[in-house]
Amino acid sequence: MKKIAVFTSGGDSPGMNACIRAVTRTAIYNHLEVTGIMRGYKGMIEGGENYVSLNSRSVGNIIQRGGTILKTSRSNEFMTAEGRKKAFENLKLNSIDALVCIGGNGTFTGAEIFYNEYKIPCIGVPGTIDNDLSGTDFTVGFDTAINTALGAIDKIRDTAESHERFFFVEVMGRDAGYIALASGIAGGAEIVLLPEVKENFDQIVSYFNKSIHSKKSFSIAIVAEGNYEGGAFEMVNQIKKYIPTFDPRIVILGHIQRGGSPTAYDRVLASRLGNAAVEGLLKGETNKMAGLINNQVALTPFNESISKSKKLNPELLKLIDIFNC
């Protein structure tokens, strides 16, 4: 192995740049050349200027930056045999011997298919704010995302109390409620609605009815975007059918959760996993994701990290009921 490539794919997450830096410097430390592939699988297919040489200087001063210097995208073409063939030809043209991919489910699924067809070794690093991959306690970007959400929730609580209003705050999490669960507990939310837990709509209506009649001045409800079809807006519309006077404010945090400077935890996590990815390749590992389990680096096969359902911590779910009684 003489040259490896690193790329980011799918949704961006804070800490991706820290991981790119770790991959590059670990590779150089081990006398490997490093290429950065711009725009993920799309750039891999298009070739040309999307393949850039990386060195210690080019990854300097990026550990604190959000987003990804290598850009990112989603590629429908890579889902085709023809697209993957173009990608392979460009990798060979650029003398790439192995890959480090930073992303989530879709990224790892593509990497596994690609290896089965062309035998290019690949180790993945879980870069997603959703924290929904098995084989790691935390994904790169999750800690920053929940702290971003928490900062917004704290500010909204000030306004909610001042105006004596109910607020619904929608956070990211189409299929996973990890952001909603963590930020809801940390933000002292009265209600937390998650995709993994079927809500009792009657209980929700009852809660707000009691709050109104008891003259409770304000409440915060955290809603994961995938909890209810239509998200927080639709949830409120349904409640209004039973409580016509219900008039909460709705805040959609959206993509603000993906941006910003990564927390110290995400920088250290990204650095550890980026280093582990390169060392895994040097040891002959492939088709695995570098993760952190009980604060120890572990490599988990892609098919396990993708297919196994990562369940919410039942202790945290219980805390919601206890604290909101």
Catalytic residue positions, numbered = 130
CA dihedral sign of residues 63, 65, 70, 73: positive
Please name the amino acid found at residue 287.
N
Is 136 in contact with 59 (CB distance < 8 Å)?
no
Name the token pair of 53. Answer: 């040489």
Tokens of 164: 């004596």
Closest CA to 136 of 246, 277, 236: 277
DSSP state of 245: T
Cα 271 from Cα 248, distance rounded (Å): 42
Other Cβ atoms less than 10 A from the Cβ of 255: the count is 11
Amino acid identity for residue 148 in this structure: T
Secondary structure (DSSP) of 61-118: T-TT--S-TT-----SGGGSHHHHHHHHHHHHHTT--EEEEEE-HHHHHHHHHHHHHH
Return the SS3 of 252.
Answer: strand
